[in-house]
Amino acid sequence: MLAKRDSCAVPASVHCDHLIAADRGGHSDVAHAESVSGEIFAFLRTASKKYGIDFWRPGSGIIHQIVLENYAFPGGMMLGTDSHTPNAGGLGMIAIGVGGADAVDAMAGIPWELKAPKVLGVRLSGKLDGWATPKDVILKLAGMLTVQGGTNHIIEYFGPGVDTLSCTGMATICNMGAEVGATTSLFPFTESMRRYLVATGRSEVAEAAAKAKEHLCADAGAEYDSVVEINLSELAPRLNGPATPDRSWTLPELKTGIAENKWPKTVSAALIGSCTNSSYEDMTRAASIVKQALGQGMKAKVPFLITPGSEQIRATMHRDGLLDVFQQAGGTILANACGPCIGQWNRPKEESSAENAIVSSFNRNFKGRNDGSPKTLNFLGSPEARRPSAPKHPSPLVTAMAFSGQLAFDPTTDVVTRPDGSTFRFAPPQGIELPPQGFDEAATRGWVESSAPDSSVQVKVDPASSRLQLIEPFAPWDGKEISGARLLVKVSGKCTTDHISAAGPWLKFKGHLENISRNTLIGATNAFTGQVNSTTNWLTGEQGTNPDVAFAYRDAAQPWVVVGDWNYGEGSAREHAAMQPRFLGCVAVVCRSFARIHETNLKKQGIVPLTFVNPDDYDRIPADAVLATRGLVGLAPGSPVILEVARPSEPGAPAVEIPLAHTMSRDQIEWFRAGSALNAIAAQ
């Protein structure tokens, strides 16, 4: 709307997956979401109609699963406003997670640009066996690379092991490339992709891709900036966590970790599915474990929540009896939506108020992400283990843990206890790559509304709404250097987009910038005090929360700056993490390093992202700093910027000068001058 266009310039789709809270289960939770978030869905529906965008109704599924089933194709390129967009790399697509403002570029027909990433080659050899699943490939890689290791890289998989993987397994691996900060992840075209395309009603695409096969893989002799080798035959199942997805453990290692860290030995909930792991293959394997447990007279010992990734998967699972199996074991089938993966989990407080451990087959495990409780430790694993034929031992992971109830559970050595006190071991799980009767496609009909652009449609926004607010363009740059800026907070350690703009209960305000800004930086740790969400208001000298002080600065027209540590803004494409600070008067973020998407998001909103040339200069910023710049006037690609740091507590002392760097291109500098990328686009 603010870009002043009549229609969307490229094929686009809208997905209502983040606002459906997990409570009583599928239909009732969708109905509840319709009642509490109806105005949001009406806004999205009318905006989609007006601009010619496919609109997927609430309950239709999670964006990445629907994209894999309907839109992704080998050799294509796609942007998505969610960091797990690279899921489509499992179908050979270059799919990149971006901020909403980047998507606006593409939707408005403006070239989208990205600093050319490096290419990290991951050579897969061997064949998964016994315990390991495709998920373990990325869990291991996360442990090797850490959450920053893939930054500014495309991860390209190659080697003989690739052809042994299912399409949906490759999607799982690509999905979680976001956890190492990769720009995207990609597999070459394989037979399993062809099978998946045919099974999802796209035989023509499968044929076309097969004909172009030699172009849908690496060139012979291709060189990579770096190469990592993973032998699938040697891969062991893993659990990663808690609190960070790169803390990777084999099961014997985890037993030691639990003892050393005094983590709970028991599991308090097991959650499977989500966009990461809800393929038919995943679900049939998980169901095979559940059937064994039922045969032993067992039910899940802890809450067991199943999130199908789409209505197509859910309906197929229902038709094939899988849902019945999960429900007989006490499992709850949640809506086809993000639910607990994004903090939309109405978990009883008594389950999360004390330290507890949950296991999930999701992709992300930052503190508080799932149930909002900092006391909950989340470990990530496969919904089950792979390969029905080879293993002599049972599956170790999430589904099996629902029945063992133990976090320190290694089925290669451990048994589970029947209700009568006797014990047994799971037999190997049985999985099916694709449904023998095909997917239940009929169920999907009616969930998507497609139409040509219709300018007569009024986009619905109630001016009195607390959930939706039409935004005003940000003011253009005043042409001057920053001066007299105050430090809102100097952040120490991890500061993800969840720390900058928390999810959970705040998600309902995503359409209302003023209201959601009340969560700004509430997860940030103050480097001077070690306290979370606490800082000094230098206009009054009083302590306050980060958002309260930011609002006070905004109301006093006091410009402010955030100083960050390494990989500031890691985690997601959440543009609110940039819009909110901008809305509240932030003029620059200065840190040791940025996560790529967040850095771009800051540029889009007209905030200058700057890094210390010497990372140790981070230590030279005092709490009461008054900050100014030299170098914004005349800013050019690669030009230096100087940060002048004065201390009111040391009157007369010369300002400290700290050299800074920026990565703004010529176009991005225009965004800064216009006040935001949107302002620059609307002016074209």
DSSP 635: -
Q: Does 17 interact with ligand SF4 (rule: CB under 6 A)?
A: yes
Six token digits for residue 310: 């789409």
Q: Does 63 interact with ligand SF4 (rule: CB under 6 A)?
A: yes
Distance CA 254, CA 272 (A): 20
With residues binned 3-state (H G I as helix, E B as strand, rest as coil), the percentages for the chain, rounded to 5, are 35, 20, 45
Nearer CB in complex with ligand SF4: 360/605: 360
| In the complex, least distance from residue 614 CB atom to ligand SF4, rounded to whole angstroms | 36
| In the complex, least distance from residue 547 CB atom to ligand SF4, rounded to whole angstroms | 23
| In the complex, least distance from residue 503 CB atom to ligand SF4, rounded to whole angstroms | 8
Binding-site member from 20, 62, 174, 209 for ligand SF4 (CB under 6 A): 62
What is the per-residue binding string for ligand SF4 in 436-475, x denoting contact by CB under 6 A?
----------------------------------------
Which one of the listed residues 13, 29, 64, 82 is annotated catalytic? 82
What is the per-residue binding string for ligand SF4 in 107-126, x denoting contact by CB under 6 A?
--------------------
Q: Does 584 interact with ligand SF4 (rule: CB under 6 A)?
A: no
Which one of the listed residues 247, 285, 347, 574 is annotated catalytic? 574
Q: Are 430 and 284 in contact (CB under 8 A)?
A: yes
572: amino acid identity, one letter: S
Binding-site member from 70, 166, 183, 274 for ligand SF4 (CB under 6 A): 274
Instruction: Give residues with Cβ within 8 angstroms of 540, minimum separation 6.
Output: 552
Nearer CB in complex with ligand SF4: 50/84: 84
**Could you confirm whether 572 is annotated as catalytic?**
yes
Q: Does 271 interact with ligand SF4 (rule: CB under 6 A)?
A: no
Distance CA 87, CA 383 (A): 17
Report the site for ligand SF4 in 597-656 (rule: CB under 6 A). Answer: none
Which one of the listed residues 17, 102, 136, 320 is annotated catalytic? 17
Binding-site member from 50, 84, 386, 499 for ligand SF4 (CB under 6 A): 84
Q: Does 103 interact with ligand SF4 (rule: CB under 6 A)?
A: no
Distance CA 141, CA 183 (A): 15
CB atoms within 10 A of CB 130: 19
Peptide bond into 429 cis (omega under 30): no
Which one of the listed residues 202, 314, 364, 598 is annotated catalytic? 364
| In the complex, least distance from residue 369 CB atom to ligand SF4, rounded to whole angstroms | 9
**Could you confirm whether 6 is annotated as catalytic?**
no
Nearer CB in complex with ligand SF4: 280/477: 280
Nearer CB in complex with ligand SF4: 61/396: 61
- Number of residues binding to ligand SF4, judged by CB under 6 A: 14
Q: What is the 3-state secondary structure (H, E, C) of 481-532?
A: CCCCEEEEEEECCCCEHHHHECCHHHHHHCCCHHHHHHHECCCCEECCCCCE
Q: Return the SS3 of 158.
A: strand
Nearer CB in complex with ligand SF4: 285/364: 364
Q: Does 575 interact with ligand SF4 (rule: CB under 6 A)?
A: no
- Give Cα separations from 155 to 147, 148, 181, 184, 406 (angstroms): 14, 13, 10, 6, 35
How many CA atoms lie within 13 Å of 131's alpha carbon, on the beta-carbon side? 21
Q: Return the SS3 of 407.
A: coil
Among the listed ranges 62-70, 248-256, 404-412, 419-427, the one in contact with ligand SF4 (CB under 6 A) is 62-70
Report the site for ligand SF4 in 277-306 (rule: CB under 6 A). Answer: none
E strands present in 397-482: 416-417, 423-424, 448-449
Nearer CB in complex with ligand SF4: 63/408: 63
| In the complex, least distance from residue 516 CB atom to ligand SF4, rounded to whole angstroms | 17
| In the complex, least distance from residue 274 CB atom to ligand SF4, rounded to whole angstroms | 4
Q: Which residues of 417-449 are buried (b: 16+ CB within 10 A; e: fewer)?
A: beeeeeeeebbbbbbebbbeeebbeebbeebbe
| In the complex, least distance from residue 672 CB atom to ligand SF4, rounded to whole angstroms | 30
**Could you confirm whether 17 is annotated as catalytic?**
yes
How many CA atoms lie within 13 Å of 86's alpha carbon, on the beta-carbon side? 28
Instruction: Return the C-alpha torsion angle 231, 237, 242, 248, nearest 10.
Output: -20
**How do 304-307 and 267-273 pair as beta strands?**
parallel
| In the complex, least distance from residue 100 CB atom to ligand SF4, rounded to whole angstroms | 14
Nearer CB in complex with ligand SF4: 87/190: 87
Q: Are 260 and 156 in contact (CB under 8 A)?
A: no
Nearer CB in complex with ligand SF4: 338/357: 338
Which one of the listed residues 13, 15, 18, 57 is annotated catalytic? 18
- Give Cα separations from 26 to 178, 402, 478 (angstroms): 28, 20, 51
Distance CA 243, CA 498 (A): 12
- CA angle (463 as vertex; 457, 468 as ends), nearest 5: 80
Report the site for ligand SF4 in 335-394 (rule: CB under 6 A). Answer: 338, 341-342, 362-364
CB atoms within 10 A of CB 370: 28
Distance CA 54, CA 100 (A): 17
Nearer CB in complex with ligand SF4: 50/598: 598
Pick from 44, 47, 46, 42: nearest CA to 5: 47
Nearer CB in complex with ligand SF4: 251/577: 577
DSSP 472: P
| In the complex, least distance from residue 64 CB atom to ligand SF4, rounded to whole angstroms | 6
Q: Which residues of 381-395 are buried (b: 16+ CB within 10 A; e: fewer)?
A: bbbbbbbbeebebbb
Binding-site member from 29, 54, 69, 82 for ligand SF4 (CB under 6 A): 82
Which one of the listed residues 83, 248, 288, 572 is annotated catalytic? 572
Nearer CB in complex with ligand SF4: 364/508: 364
**Could you confirm whether 82 is annotated as catalytic?**
yes
Among the listed ranges 61-69, 102-110, 429-437, 484-492, the one in contact with ligand SF4 (CB under 6 A) is 61-69
How many CA atoms lie within 13 Å of 548's alpha carbon, on the beta-carbon side? 11
Burial bucket for residue 176 (CB in 10 Å: 0-12, 13-18, 19+): buried
Among the listed ranges 42-50, 334-342, 573-581, 644-652, the one in contact with ligand SF4 (CB under 6 A) is 334-342
Instruction: Give residues with Cβ within 8 angstroms of 191, minimum separation 6.
Output: 163
| In the complex, least distance from residue 177 CB atom to ligand SF4, rounded to whole angstroms | 12
Q: Does 275 interact with ligand SF4 (rule: CB under 6 A)?
A: yes
* DSSP H helices in 63-190: 63-70, 100-107, 134-145, 167-175
| In the complex, least distance from residue 523 CB atom to ligand SF4, rounded to whole angstroms | 17
Nearer CB in complex with ligand SF4: 62/621: 62
| In the complex, least distance from residue 330 CB atom to ligand SF4, rounded to whole angstroms | 23
Residues that bind ligand SF4 (CB under 6 A): 17, 62-64, 82, 84, 274-275, 338, 341-342, 362-364
Active site (catalytic) residues: 17-18, 82, 364, 572, 574
